[in-house]
Structure 1
Amino acid sequence: MDIGHFTRRIMVDKDQTLQHKVAIQEESGRRWTFKELHEKSNSYSHQLLKLGVKKGDRVGILLYNCLEYFALYFAIGKIGAVAVRINFRLTSNELEFILKDSHTKILCLDRELLEKIEPIRNQIPVEHYIVLGDGHLPDWAKSWDLLSCGPGEEVGEMDISMDDPVMLMYTSGTTGRPKGAVWTHNTTFWFSVIQILKWGFDGSEIAMTTGPLYHVGALEDIALPVLLKGGTVIITRSRGFDIARVMKVIEKEKVTHCFLFPFMIYDMLNLPNLDEFQLAHLKTIYTGGDPLMPWAIEAIYEKYPHVGIVQVYGLTEGQPIAACLNPEDALKKSASVGQPLPLTEIKVVDENGEEAPFGEVGEIWTKSPGVSEGYWGNPEATKSTFVNGWCKTGDLGKWDEEGYLYIVGRKKDMIRSGGENIYAAEIEDVLYRHKAVKKASVIGIPDPKYLEAVCAVIVLKENEKATEEEIIRYCRQYLAGYKCPKKVVFTDEIPMTPSGKVKKFVLREKYGKPINSGKNG
């Protein structure tokens, strides 16, 4: 049951009701039925084969969110090729690295992104460029019409194993160069099944995804399992996110399930006309990336007591949703990411490679059919991250006595100062409580006496003011002295990856100069 099964469902739809049901829809209202999606993906498959794409060849997708994204992804999988889903926000140099590393043969891209390819075209291995969008094209590019002109019938029997790779997803790169996580047909299918088992999707869902489709958090999370069960998926446009606009779509299309990142939820709750939206049909809000603040959970439950909040935890390599916090635990366990999903194992491992007891901090390892096979062309990174089916996430966590998992920081975010381990997430949590702080990130910087010292990088809210002394004094109210920042930097922006993670290696490069040491505590 390869990835093509997501569109082949109409072939076993005996009463043909699914054929005419909306499968995917853009927020603008443009939509395709399951039959149209299936036929489009078949058409793309035929044309890719004519362009010389063979089993195992890499086909790049550099598109904004659109219906064509789904059809192309399924088409690539149907012929045994490998989709390279690429972040459209990347610079030309970053794109060059990924296209070279993956040895992408065909690149399908949005016309507006041609300017990013032009400077690197002679350095990358791409043989054909297929462009979506109206307007003039350079002579080295082909129109999307090329893909759309093929027959809509099945391409015939293809030699595809469930263990074959179907997608490369380049990780966020919080520690440097990105690595291509390999997803097989098995990985994709089983991750959908795991979600169906957990949340009981039955095909009645109208699910909205708000992230970019190049990311697992927008396509593999919620969207694919809903499609597999015959539900409808609505996708938001890629640029100019506006929570008021999104809320109108949720209301108009009677969305039942949606994924909103924490900052989106905060924006939603700050809407002056929030009470005007009719959301009786909304059942579940999924959120992740960062913990959702308790005040936001309380506000949602007060306004919409019928809506369940599900906080999720995971990563591209180690299953995008490996654990979740159920709605009934949202308040009483708000600091936790919950418990493992079905068919998913999680353990916390200490420095000796042994499972840590309850309450002790260690590295989180995950294991399931939804865990990546490894990194593309990078055996060393694969060997260091994947051990006997387990993925070493690099996240630090601990269990409580009731079996709930807590994230305390990244393994490489741990600050070592004066013989003490300091976890950045704990300090960041305190900083976010300050009335003037909009964003905060904590890093370790060199200290001549204590090895490292804590540095807080802060973005202030509009029209708010704060000083370094004030922030440090505030932290001392809630943290032991050795955990408090010794340096505070105020900036206009904190660099983020597309998946919402702070690029701490950038902060370290910019602000990681040694400071004159004082007392540590």
Structure 2
Amino acid sequence: MTEFRAVPESSPLPSIPDDLTIPQFFLDYKHPSQPVRPPSVPWFIEDHTARPVTFDEIRQRTSGLANALSLKWNIVENDVVCVFSPNHVDYPLSIWAIHRLGAIVTPANPGYTADELFYQLQSTQASLLLVYADFLPTALVAAKLAGLSEDRIVVIEASAASPFNGKQETVSKLIAYGSGKAQNFVERKLRKGEAKTKVAFYSFSSGTTGACRRSPGAAVVIPHYSVIANVLQKAAHYGISDPSLKKKHMNPGEVAVADIYGLVVVLHYMLFAGLSLVVVPKFDFTKFLQSIVRHNITHLLLVPPQIVLLCKHPAAKNYDLGHVKFCISGAAPLSGELMSSVRKVMPNAVIGQGYGMTETCTTVAILGGRQDMGTVGSAGQILPGIVARVVRPDGSLCKEGEQGELVVTGPAMALGYLNNEAATKESFIDGWVRTGDEVIVRNSEIFVVDRLKVKGFQVAPAELEGHLLVHKAVADACVVGIPDEYSGEVPLAFVVLHEDSQKRVAKDPKEGEQLKAELQKHVADAKIAYKRLAGGVVFIDAIPKNPSGKILRRVLRDQARQAQSGKQRAKL
């Protein structure tokens, strides 16, 4: 049986406690593999004020909020609380306060409409809603649709400019209230092994990879053990407590940015590793650059569109990012050309990629702890504790270097989908998760293969997209394959132009045709014949992406093929 595991030189996976909740693990317990955080190193740094938030403050505020939620709304074991907010210093302590009570958190995407938030509230049967003040109007509409009364909405922050009417409780007031009262709850100690089934999150998957395609809008059920396990897997992968590893990718006292990634990769793992997190509520590129320099941020976890901005936005030239030592890209493949370009912007950074999904409680593979630079095209090295198989359509297993669907298991796998037995049975099989992603595994590294086949040759869209993004007129790009009678498939490029190029094309359609021809030549001059954009170039306003930045390639592929079918029918 062909199975793939972590590289032999990885540190061994440490013991994973199975009787602790997430806040007990982080706030009450010291794991042997956890490095020592100096007392002077804060857990969080508020971006706009530079205010440090210490461990003692977090622990006190978490306890106060948990007590208030118990006193005011009698939140108890297995109740569900929805948190609808961007990054905020009170976001993590809100999660941990809910978990202190044995309740379940369902995090809502801050970009949701009222209808989308209503769906989440209804499907999870949430009994309380914590919302960032700026999103209160959306929350009020969604709560009314879900039958949740206004007195069950708590405002995370209330600034003078926020649409806050004063009717709702605020997190700050609740913390003060709960801190001044005798504790109203008894935090339960889990039985041995119970953390593996004790639910921490109902996390809605992005709907773009693997099982998500088969079950759109499903809530993934994640136990406390999965989050703790994935943190310890990454700790072993990076050897953060390995004395034999002299040069570590992360050390206590360094600074990461909490801007784009999820609950596990940044919030929990980086805190475990001893880093401070600069909390950036909303992404604005120029302000983001200022924050990197102002806070001396050493660790960036980004998505390819942000990498493109770093390489091409004129503002990037005004900032010295030589202090950045670590940069990971996720959510979509990063081409070799973009890796090379961003290295020029951050000349001292180790640059690589990561791969994971909600169903695997995040990371399956990531840039190796002993790598100075990620392998071009690789989504990263397999983490300790992960076992991977590559499966052919007929169910047989691929050997190293052969292409098939990635199926994985490990200590951090989710439990399944909430109230969706059919999807759970299809995607979660005897502890294994079907990812739905076509991959090749080589030297314990995963290479995600989203390819089209031209005259029998494999063409990676990410390679062509990376080359298009180097062109001065291109702001974003997506390449898909369209059927061709002679070649089987040919590449078609959807391109978003920079604003100045958009204006020129809008003013003169001939300019647009010339630019399309120029882009086709740009690719043809650099690539072998079968990689040329024989399907043409289409200008669009935006590349469709999910909230985490992953290209919704299938949307454009379907759009292209429908347009092609329409043209063929018109000829008949």
Which TM-score band applies after superposition, normalised by the shorter structure? 0.7 to 0.9
- The whole-number CA distance in structure 2 between the counterparts of 1:352 and 1:324 is 29
Write out per-residue CA displacement over residues 373-429 of structure 1, whole angstroms, 9 at most, x where no aligned residue: 2111111111111112121111111134x34321112xxxx7699999876546545
1:128-153 deviation digits (Å, cap 9, x = unpaired)? 11113146645863333452220288
Residue type matched to 2:42 in 1? V
Question: Does the 8 A contact of 1:46 with 1:151 survive in 2?
Answer: yes
Would you say the 8 A contact 2:237–2:368 is kept in 1?
Answer: no
* Residues 1:292 and 1:506: Cα distance change in structure 2 (over 3 Å): closer
Partner of 1:190: 229
Q: How far did 1:37 drift? A: 0.3
> 2-side partners of 1:461 and 1:363: how far apart?
36
Match of 1:173 in 2: 207
Partner of 1:206: 254
Provide the C-alpha distance between the structure 1 equivalents of 2:270 and 2:392, rounded to a whole number of angstroms: 37
The 5 A counterparts of 1:233-248 are: 233-239=277-283, 241-242=284-285, 244-248=286-290
Write the distance in 1 (CA, Å) between the matches of 2:74 and 2:320: 50
Shift of 1:124: 0.8
- Aligned counterpart, 1:44: 65
Q: In the TM superposition, what whole-angstrom CA distance separates every residue of 1:428-456 from its partner, at most 9, and x where no partner exists?
A: 45654655433222446688999987653
Mapped pair 1:151 → 2:199: no
Could you list the per-position Cα deviations for residues 5-59 of structure 1 after superposition, in whole angstroms to 9, with x for gaps in the alignment?
Answer: 355248999xx98676411122121332101101111111112222121211110
Residue in 2 aligned with 1:27? 47
Q: Secondary structure at the match of 1:372?
A: coil
Which residue in 2 is equivalent to 1:250?
292
TM-score, length-normalised on structure 1?
A: 0.84
Secondary structure of the corresponding residue to residue 398 of structure 1: strand
Higher relative contact order (CA 8 A, sep 6+): 2
Q: Tell me which of 90, 99, 107 is aligned to 1:85.
A: 107
The alignment status of 1:164 with 2:198, answered yes or no, reads yes
Which residue is 2:3 aligned to? Answer: none
* Closer, same or farther: CA 443–285 of 1 in aligned 2, 3 Å: closer
Alignment pair present for 1:441 and 2:481: no
Quick check: 1:45–1:76 contact (8 Å CA) kept in 2?
Answer: yes
2-side partners of 1:480 and 1:248: how far apart?
43
Equivalent residue, structure 2, for 1:277: 320
Contact 1:58 1:81 in 2 (8 A): yes
Q: Could you tell me whether the CA contact under 8 Å between 1:360 and 1:399 is conserved in 2?
A: yes
CA distance, structure 2, for counterparts of residue 494 and residue 269 of structure 1: 18
User: Which whole-Å CA distance do the structure 2 matches of 1:297 and 1:510 have between them?
Assistant: 30
Q: Confirm or deny: 8 A CA contact 2:222 2:361 kept in the other structure.
A: no
Which residue does the alignment assign to 1:313? 355
Q: Per-residue deviation at 1:106?
A: 0.4
Displacement, 1:346?
Answer: 2.1
Change (3 A) 1:346 1:33: same
**Cα displacement string for residues 229-254 of structure 1 (whole angstroms, at most 9, x for unaligned residues):** 44422221224x22x43344333433
Q: C-alpha separation between the residues in 2 aligned to 1:236 and 1:53?
A: 29
Residue number among 441, 448, 453 corresponding to 1:407 in the alignment: 448
CA RMSD of aligned residues (A): 3.7
Measured against aligned partners, the alpha-carbon deviations of 1:183-235 in whole angstroms (never above 9, x if no partner) come to 110011011111111223466143323434xxxx2431133123234442222
Please give the alpha-carbon distance, in whole angstroms, between the structure 2 residues aligned to 1:247 and 1:136.
29
Correspondences of 1:364-403 after superposition (within 5 Å): 364-400=406-442, 402-403=443-444
1:66 aligns with 2:91: no
Alignment correspondent of 2:535: 486
Counterpart code for 1:3: I
Question: Relative to 1, partners in 2 of residues 1:459 and 1:144: Cα closer, same or farther, differing over 3 Å?
Answer: same
Return the alpha-carbon distance in structure 2 between the equivalents of residues 106 and 18 of structure 1. Answer: 37
Note if contact 2:496-2:542 (Cα within 8 Å) is conserved in structure 1: yes
Question: What letter corresponds to residue 440 of structure 1 in structure 2?
Answer: A
- Counterpart residue number, 2:23: 4
- Specify the alignment match of 2:276 in structure 1: 232
Partner residue, 1:499: 548
State how many pairs are aligned.
504
SS in 2 for 1:22: coil
Structure 1 residue 371 displacement after superposition: 1.9
Match of 2:154 in 1: 130
Percent of residue pairs identical = 23
In structure 2, do the counterparts of structure 1 residues 19 and 44 end up closer, same or farther at CA, with 3 Å as the change threshold?
farther
Aligned AA (1:234): V
One of 371, 383, 388 as aligned partner of 1:341: 383
**CA shift for structure 1 position 84:** 0.7
In 1, Cα distance between the equivalents of 2:452 and 2:407?
21
- After TM superposition, the structure 1 stretch with the greater mean CA deviation from structure 2, 59-68 or 427-436, is 427-436
Q: Structure 1 residues 304 and 454 mapped into 2: Cα distance closer, same or farther (>3 Å)? A: closer
Q: 2:4 is matched with which residue?
A: none
Q: Paired residue for 1:222?
A: 266
Partner of 2:339, secondary structure, is helix
Contact 1:205 1:226 in 2 (8 A): no
What's the TM-score, normalizing by structure 2? 0.77
Q: Give the whole-Å Cα distance in 2 for the aligned partners of 1:58 and 1:140.
A: 22
The 3 A distance-change label for structure 1 pair 398 and 146 is: same
Q: What code does the residue aligned with 2:23 have?
A: G
Runs of 5+ unmatched residues, structure 1: none
Matched letter for residue 457 of structure 1: F
Judging by fraction of residues, say which structure has more helix.
Answer: 2
Secondary structure at the counterpart of residue 105 of structure 2 = strand
* Residues 1:422 and 1:69: Cα distance change in structure 2 (over 3 Å): same
Deviations, residues 156-206 of structure 1 (Å, cap 9, x unaligned): 331543121101211112348322112110011011111111223466143
Q: Which moved more, 1:75-84 or 1:460-469?
A: 460-469
Alignment CA distance shift 1:403-1:159 (3 Å): closer
Counterparts in 2 of 1:104 and 1:453: CA distance versus 1, 3 Å: farther
Q: Which amino acid aligns with 1:131?
A: V
CA distance in 1, matches of 2:187, 2:547: 37
Assess, with a 3 A threshold, how the Cα gap between structure 1 residues 92 and 2 changes in structure 2: closer, same or farther: same
Out of 203-212 and 182-191, give the one that drifted further: 203-212
Matches within 5 A, 1:342-361: 342-361=384-403
